[in-house]
Structure 1
Amino acid sequence: MVQTVHPALPAFWYGVQEFANPFLTLGYSAVIVWLTRYRWAGPVALLAPAGRMTASNYIGQSVIMMLLYTGYGLALADCIPPAGVVLLAVLTYLAQLRISAWWLRRHHYGPIEWVLRAATYGSLTRAAWVRR
């Protein structure tokens, strides 16, 4: 017998959700692409620096959340209400947007992207790292 966290939901619902996740991702991507073609292109362009540093932002966000919620840091899991968790996630993302824009004014790539690019091409070129 399968136990779920929410007994009101049938057990198969989690399989349906896993099946739907890729379609939701494609839908979100399609909406963002659609928005870039119209009058929303300016505000959507503010997301571009974070998009160019996705690996660095992913690692950074993982470290921040780990330090907030686990015993390695503040151990705030189960101490913050759901609205607070959402607020922290939004604030983290907004901070990453600003940091990404600042970083990309000085460098061509994010730090993790540079390491991945160097490993892929087999060269450590400083010219690709620092913007002149």
Structure 2
Amino acid sequence: MPPAPRYQREAVPPDQVEVRLVLYPYGKEEPAVRWWRELPQNLSRAAAVGPQAGVTVQGPFVESEQLTLYVRGPSDATVLEFARSQVLRPSPGRVYAFVSAPGQLAPQTGRAVLLDATTRPTPARTR
């Protein structure tokens, strides 16, 4: 099996934030298995509705043996809600979000927000 792709970090536009989502654990636990099975559909749905909310999703990637996704959008509230409702359904377990300041790359360490995924979709916010 080839190595997992690496996230190509690029500059964040000044009017956007980047959120690094880290899933703990991403192994064989039932919530993670269900989430993995639905990941292709979730990413397709996120790609379809993301532009309406000004949100993009990159990943998944494996970084330091942790499953990681990157989500960009116009505000931390929009990005976090989009992640909860479009990407983290069904819940994969514990997910920590590292949120950047506008125009900055998502931090690799530091204070994280614990995300609780929703169990049903909510409408994507628009700008």
TM-score normalised per structure 2:
0.29
Structure with bigger gyration radius: 1
Higher relative helix content = 1
TM-score normalised per structure 1:
0.29
Higher relative strand content = 2
Which of 1 and 2 has higher RCO (CA within 8 Å, sep 6+)?
A: 2
